[in-house]
Structure 1
């Protein structure tokens, strides 16, 4: 059986091969693998940051409105019924009290003769009268002397319920309130009784006088009161209350039915009103996916029309913005021609096309001869006007299928498609003649502007796009060296001789630069995506000429490789980078420097000894040193690279594998290289936001790096959308022009200022 390590290794290799297969199947054309710093238009970054559709469970707006209306209606109805019930009970109780008072007064009047006559038939007549009133449950007449009942009536509804007789406390209260017009209301202690019970004294009144002869009309009459008995009455108003409850219940059911009917038809009406809003769902989903070629139809109510108009206005603004960003990313803002980046892509495609179709084309590299004179004497504005006029002249000299760009400064490039060498020479001569006839007039002065042209055929030999461009560049240099205002056709044997001469010239320059410190170091920020506030920079080598012109290493490193002095340049970079770390430490700054090493470094026998000496000389903390080698270099020298990395790691240094992924090497090699950091090649980063294949590749590399316990750095980050996506994928560090360009020297303040424009949600410091 296979070991777990062998299974992991096979899984990693298989996953990487599958990812590469998907990538090759989906990619069309030749990718631009030049490390050119340029801006890429962010693809609807605000749409990615703004959730147009919530991830929680979706609910219907119509149903929500109906439910809110129903709930509010039920609450209002309950409050209304409760208020109606309370007010009705209050009114009923007041009416019951008044009726009880009226009944007592009436029965007092009917019962008084009963005490005088003591007639049984008289009480029967009273019974007959009150029997017609179902609310009277019982009636009692009491004798005043011993408080005994002399007559009573009980309705059939009362049944077997025994109503207690008047207590002595109530009788005493009746005696005290003898002159009151209101009866006494009895609170029964019997739970079975739901009666309205009242009692009142039966009183006789008389006028007292000493003698009839002494009667004086002006003297106040004096009445005397005598209690001859007591009246107790029980009234049952439950029928009225039951009818009230029944009516309220019936009303509630009717109102509920009305609510349901209103909700049903209301839902139909609301849904019909919101139908135009529902139709916006599909275009909004397309917009959320980044598709801006949509239109939102607005109809119905004016609010919905206003929303649709606002969305259409936003979409048009996005289209305009994307078009503007596309132009900025692919076209020169001054002349309107293709820029350097886009031209490189077109050149690679044309090289591949000539190979696939067995065709030939031509590349023309054009350099203006008098531009610097105009720019220095008349100013940059005049120089810009000159470049625009030259661009217009060149556009009029090429066919519609040809490609023209402003490559940089006063340099222009043209791809003339499907032509042979005689045609290429004819085009070059036509351009020379047009430039010779061109006169630039500025400030009353006239200037003759000439040019030098390098011409190379594409497809005649098996050269890469970079090699073809280099040949055109060298041919242009040859034309200039022969006196300018002419073109030179690339000739391979001749260029080999020129290269040897150039190497001899570079040999002296490189030797002087090493001995006299004509080299200088530039620093580009590498930023942590997870809150590490330490400063990280990649060290970049430049050469400074006598006139202070800064030379890119692409100009002299190939010659250094051929001359065998690349190792000496590596040592110069390592020594000066370590000295710089020491200076940073003395200033109290926590700085990490990444130092690039060439492939030749693995041929040096004294590499470890020299680096140890530099570390000791400058008293450097070794964990602040990060050495970088390219993936292709490491794989090509796998044994030596693994040994050298292990020895430097033993000193405490870190190692980063640069351009990771571009070589399509097996992850088996990665497991054999004890590196700490993987620098994902910019080819996967520049178009990542709008390219799902690149996104999958980057995610796979980050995931595998984490599996191997290694950190990742993404190169060539050009915008906020790319940075945010990398953080979401789990990348550890990022580097690119969006985070900071290479600078000759840096301070902590410069470092913070360079990152000041970035959203703190992405970089939390």
Structure 2
């Protein structure tokens, strides 16, 4: 049998009215008890059992009142026991719902010691998921009680109850404002019958339990909120209190260390316990608050042992539970804010004294605040500064520096560090001065940009001084064009941009034709004026972003960056050539100079700035050798294209190889034409590149001369060959060493001295060494070279004229030269298969012998040539027929054994 009773609180029910926690229940029970007593006076009325039931529940209620009002865990357990015993239940349980009312948890339970029910506190009874028990959920949800025997329950509820031995189930909802928040559950291990009156009494008691639980929860929440408020006030070091119409403090929370504590203030009059400065202000404002229900706010300063405390007080009217008007005061300590404000004002006064302008920019770049120094930078009166506020900083940045500032602001947004940028600030008059800005981004706690702050300083004077120093360091003093240092920076910047933008860079080497003749004929002053005029004319035809620099002497370099079309380079080259040919009048003399111009392109012809310079230089020399007043392009030169980029790359690696002494010295024997004995060995540089293998000396020696490394190369050969010669001397070998001397070495004033020092260092004599000098070198600046050669000869060195026959020396010059040996150039030996070649060789040999010179013929390739030269009376021969240049170990073997088999 299912009994349903609707609870108070639902709109659909008016069966029970239960208002207070005690009075309503008392009244209801008393009335029913009186009715029952009257009914019992009739002997025919059969309700004696109901009277007994009422007495039982009345006694149960009387026993549980205190427990219900306290509702501690132990007291609730005691109340459940009393209710279970009164209702003759084997057990009683209290279930409370989760906030979403989907699950109900067992909160307290009592089980009779005599019952046959199993322990139901573990799962699954500990937590009931309403979705698994729809009958229970639906019944309680509508505020009705569920009373059923085991067999009347649905299968899910039946299985749950059967596990613990339940035969009869009674569930009564606990309601708050008509909504269930839990239920009381009465369990029996045997079926029992409960009357409707008993169920009504249980429903009333359950309603009382619900109200007691709600009251206790509200009290706990109120206590928790009070504790939180006290904690909050304590953290803030503020004070909050409520006072009545007699100015007595009725409740208080105080966490301020310099104000009275809550214990001192509670129940005391304001004027007697609060500091006088605060109390007098409160007494002044409280009547208006209490009578007119207005709000008020005031500031006051309280003197404490720790110094003055600045307070901000807010007053708000509230209604007390008794209906009277009370006032709530929030006393907030603003001492830190006041001190901070004072410091800020002091800081602003200090900033106003600075010559640097301090600025605040909005996130969008507008000027928000600044100091009086801004007016000085802008050339304004201080009173005119206001018109600049709200304007973007870019409004006063010189147009030529706009991109610099954009880049600077971009950096600011990406970093937390200050960023410095120098730019031109436009003044009110339209003139500008140089300022240095140091800016930093300020962000809100959530990371968003809130402001940009910075300092602007006038650096016009220092900037101009730096420019002057830069001019001296980066510009040619004669032509005012960029020098090599600045050009190198411009080339690398242009190449970096080209890599990013996928564009090209063209580089042109320019050489002024016949400049030496002009300099020699008219003097250096005229030559300098010519260079200045030509530089100006070349610069006049360039585009805005093009650069022309003076490379040195009569050479210039033009840089054409950001190229998309190579026709621009070709057109510009013609304009340069035509510009140079414009007439130049110097000291009344008109001249029309011409130039030789060679262009190379990145990345088509080179992969780096160094390679690009080298390629353009080679191209310019090709243009010069093909007739001067000429323009050549690297891509149009067949033989340079054949060399390709590997040629340029080799030149780049050569410098490293020489400086790191990675070149080796090989030795080629010079043999006695009659006996085959090795008389001398010529020291020759050889280079095995790590990437390209053995590099021909015909390639790397001209490279070394071109890039200015020939002297270092020569010194390397001298050092290594002197070391080897010392070893050979110690081993008893007597052959002499032949060493090639470069033009740069011969022109050095200290060369003779340094060479002698090298000999002494290795314990060698000048007679051990033969110095080879090409005929063309010997004839360059003949008088000067003659002097150096005589000094070397006087030191004991024998001089050999190398490549003889190619330099067009006259007989008188040959006679004057302090040379003991001539080495006939290999080109003559290679022509001995012709009649003319044999006659020329015979004439040169007779000339040398007639001058008393020792003769060495280079380039002997076969036995036939050797036999012919023997017949002419040649003393020495050298060539691949005898031996190619070989490492020192093989050369030593030839020196010991000789090459007689070749004669």
Higher strand residue share: 2
More relative contact order, 1 or 2 (CA 8 Å, 6+ apart): 1
Q: Same fold (TM over 0.5)?
A: no
Q: Based on CA coordinates, which of the two structures has the bigger radius of gyration?
A: 2
Higher helix residue share: 1
TM-score where L is the length of structure 1:
0.34
